[in-house]
């Protein structure tokens, strides 16, 4: 277990109790906590704003909600878990028999001890989510039903953190902030993104890295609508979700399927020998489908461990901080750092001595290999870089074609560049 893994898990535990949705104070409170780790630029977009084919909805906030029996005991209590209320429930204050209340109660009969996560964003509705065991134990009779919420004109809130690079071309890292008490989906992704931003800030990356914290679907659409000019600078991107469960790493490719980010993730996952799975793009899932929509067609893939809906705990109260581990989040973070190191270092070069093989010994390049256990690999890497440095092939092309580790290829390129045998 790494220190970063432990700290990410502590962040998940801090964020877990907050009631998040696509708008509202829960999102703001979440971003305020994340802002303690990395500075954020927070954006507020008013209700009614047209964003592409969508409109920013009314803002939802909730203060309290419960179902109480005749003795006043809260048999369902929002204070115990934000999952207990149907997301975006309109306010209600009434007394009704259980027979009438049942139409507004949501359970998981197949997992009777778990509470489901349900929402009703774009149509007025109210309801409660509870364990089937709890429902089965309720006697007939009248119940007090109260949801102290507001649905009114306000704002959609999202935030950005930028790690400046050597060039203005950008890599976007996106995570969703719209789910309530769900640790893997979405808090682990928020935690990994945040600690990835902190790690990159300690380096001098080649690309500029833009981290986007936004509610799912409507948030990414809002960001795209408000950043039409910046989108032209986005070269690569990654959506992070379900980043802390015990499953193997899963990379979902961009719509293009052959974007540089796709090739980098395929290469790094294979080279790392981690258990993993590569999936083709589908226009369903997380916000990669917004960034990859044909009008934008950005090279954005999605990294998770077990994909959405692929584990029984998905969108239930069982997706709690005990379900995610420091070790899994640390592994996801490490994979991101390895992939971005390749992305940042991938260049095309031109051989400045392309007629025949240049004499490496005269330039001290063979001497530099003396005594190294990987001398043969390093020598082959130099020869491959020289052979494919025609301005058309990148270092990733070299690594893929030669079967050599990208790190060895990049080190060879550095040595050859230092000897003035290649130029970027």
Query: Residues marked as binding?
Result: 179, 185, 315
Q: Which residues are annotated as a binding site for Zn(2+)?
A: 179, 185, 315
* Strands annotated E in 86-152: 92-97, 105-106, 128-129, 142-152
CB 237 within 8 A of CB 291: yes
Cα gap 93→37, rounded to integer Å = 40
Query: Who contacts 36 (Cβ-Cβ below 8 Å, separation ≥6)?
Result: none
Residue 416: both structure tokens together: 């050859």
Cα 382 from Cα 379, distance rounded (Å): 5
Domain with CATH 3.50.30.90 in the chain: 62-152
* Positions in the chain whose pLDDT score sits under 70: 1, 367-373
pLDDT of residue 122: 87
Which DSSP state fits 115? P
End-to-end CA distance of the chain: 39
Compute, in degrees rounded to 10, the torsion defined by CA atoms 325, 326, 327, 329: 90
Q: Where in the chain is the domain with CATH 1.10.10.10?
A: 348-423
Instruction: Single out the residue of 194, 169, 175, 324 nearest to residue 247, CA to CA.
Output: 324
Which residues, at least 6 apart from 257, have a Cβ–Cβ distance to it below 8 Å? 280, 281
Q: Which pLDDT belongs to residue 361?
A: 84
Q: How many angstroms separate the Cα of 231 from the Cα of each of 79, 192, 236, 254? A: 41, 23, 10, 16
Identify the CA nearest to 382 among candidates 368, 391, 25: 368
Neighbours of 324 (CB within 10 A): 29
156 vs 49, 69, 182, CA distance in Å?
Answer: 10, 36, 20
What pLDDT is stored for residue 370 in this prediction?
Answer: 54
- Can you tell me the distance from the alpha carbon of 131 to that of 77, in angstroms, rounded to the nearest whole number? 12
b/e burial code for range 191-200 (CB count within 10 A of at least 16 → b): bbbbbbbbbb
Nearest C-alpha neighbor of 225 from the set 290, 322, 318: 290
Which CATH class, in words, describes the domain spanning 3-57+155-345?
A: alpha beta
Taking each helix axis from N to C terminus, what angle separates 326-345 and 406-418, rounded to the nearest 10 degrees?
40
Which of these, 234, 209, 65, 213, lies nearest to 150 by C-alpha position?
65
pLDDT of residue 66: 98
Correct CATH for 348-423 of 1.10.10.10, 3.30.70.270, 2.40.50.140, 3.20.20.70: 1.10.10.10
pLDDT at 87 (0 to 100)? 97
* Eight-class DSSP state of 103: G
CATH (residue range 62-152)? 3.50.30.90
Length of the chain: 424
Cite the residue boundaries of each domain of the chain with CATH code 3.40.630.10: 3-57+155-345
**Predicted pLDDT at 27:** 98
């Amino acid at each position: 277990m790494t220190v970063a893994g432990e700290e990410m898990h502590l962040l998940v535990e801090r964020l877990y109790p907050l009631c998040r949705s696509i708008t509202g104070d829960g999102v703001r409170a979440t971003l305020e906590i994340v802002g303690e780790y990395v500075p954020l630029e927070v954006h507020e977009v008013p209700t009614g704003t047209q964003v592409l084919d969508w409109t920013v909805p009314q803002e939802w906030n909730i203060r309290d909600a419960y179902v109480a029996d005749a003795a006043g005991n809260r048999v369902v209590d929002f204070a115990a878990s934000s999952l207990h209320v149907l997301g975006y429930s309109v306010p209600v204050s009434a007394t009704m028999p259980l027979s009438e209340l049942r139409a507004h109660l949501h359970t998981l009969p197949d997992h009777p001890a778990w509470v489901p996560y349900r929402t009703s964003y774009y149509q007025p509705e109210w309801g409660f989510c509870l364990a089937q065991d709890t429902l089965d134990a309720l006697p007939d009779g009248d119940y007090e039903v109260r949801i102290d919420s507001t649905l009114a004109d306000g704002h959609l809130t999202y935030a950005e953190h930028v790690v400046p690079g050597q060039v203005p071309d950008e890599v976007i890292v996106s995570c969703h902030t719209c789910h309530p008490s769900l640790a893997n989906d979405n808090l682990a992704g928020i935690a990994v993104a945040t600690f990835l931003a902190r790690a990159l800030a300690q380096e001098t990356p080649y690309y500029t890295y833009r981290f986007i914290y936004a509610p799912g679907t409507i948030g990414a659409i809002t960001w795209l609508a408000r950043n039409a000019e910046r989108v032209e600078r986005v070269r690569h991107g990654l959506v992070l979700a379900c980043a802390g469960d015990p499953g193997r790493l899963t990379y979902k490719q961009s719509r293009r399927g052959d974007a540089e980010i796709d090739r980098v993730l395929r290469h790094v996952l294979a080279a790392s020998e981690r258990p993993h799975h590569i999936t083709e793009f589908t226009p369903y899932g997380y916000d990669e489908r917004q960034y990859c929509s044909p009008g934008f067609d950005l090279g954005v893939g999605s990294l998770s461990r077990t994909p959405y809906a692929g584990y029984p705990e998905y969108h239930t109260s069982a997706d709690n901080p005990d379900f995610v581990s420091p070790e899994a989040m640390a592994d996801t973070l490490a994979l991101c750092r390895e992939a971005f190191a390749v992305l940042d270092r991938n260049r095309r070069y031109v051989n400045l001595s392309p007629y025949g093989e240049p004499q490496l010994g005269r330039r001290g390049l063979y001497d530099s290999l003396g005594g190294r256990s990987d001398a043969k690999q390093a020598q082959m890497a130099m020869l491959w870089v020289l052979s494919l440095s025609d301005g058309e092939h990148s270092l990733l092309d070299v690594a893929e074609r030669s079967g050599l580790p990208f790190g060895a290829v990049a080190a060879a390129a550095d040595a050859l560049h230092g000897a003035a045998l290649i130029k970027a």
